[in-house]
Amino acid sequence: MSEFEGGCRCGKVRFKAAGDPKFVANCHCEDCRRSTGGAFSTWIGFETGQVSWPNPPDLHESSPATARGFCAVCGTPVSFSSEKWAGETHFLIGTFDNPDQFTPTGDAFAAEKLPWVTLIEER
Ligand SMILES: [Zn+2]
Ligand SMILES: [Zn+2]
């Protein structure tokens, strides 16, 4: 079975995910853009039951019933969970120890993308 590990820049926050992800997708929403500082965000989604936190993150409620996990020491945004995707935990690709093992296969909130970004389906 696949096992993935990751964490923040300084190592205060660490997570593990066992089994295969539900999805790997680029999100172009403004909320992710603001929360990460990136043009878009590549998220790896797991069932929350697959996830464990040896060192859990601090949480910011970015909108109602939506929690973004981050490191309060180094500032790295790490995770996302929301009632909209109940039972799932999503991680930003750059927080994994081996981010090269994931390739995004779709786009979310494509209508909010920056003009120069090419969607996966347009490649
Ligand atoms: Zn940190
Ligand atoms: Zn988003």
Q: Are 6 and 88 in contact (CB under 8 A)?
A: no
- Is 60:70 a contact under the CB 8 Å cutoff? yes
Tens digit of each residue's pLDDT (9 = 90 or more) over 44-59: 999 999 999 999 999 9
How far apart (Å, rounded) are the C-alpha atoms in residues 17 and 77?
Answer: 17
The answer regarding whether domain 3-113 maps to CATH 2.170.150.70 reads yes
DSSP state, residue 92: E
- What spacing in Å lies between the alpha carbon of 109 and ligand 1's midpoint? 28
Type and span of the H or E element at 21: none
Ligand nearest to the CA of 10: 1
- Cα(113) to ligand 1 centroid in Å equals 28
Q: What is the pLDDT of residues 82-108, one digit of tens each?
A: 999 999 999 999 999 999 999 999 999
pTM, full prediction: 0.96
User: Which ligand is closest to the CA of 29, given by its number?
Assistant: 2
Tell me: pLDDT of 35 over 90: yes
User: Which of 82, 61, 58, 68 has its CA nearest to residue 10?
Assistant: 58
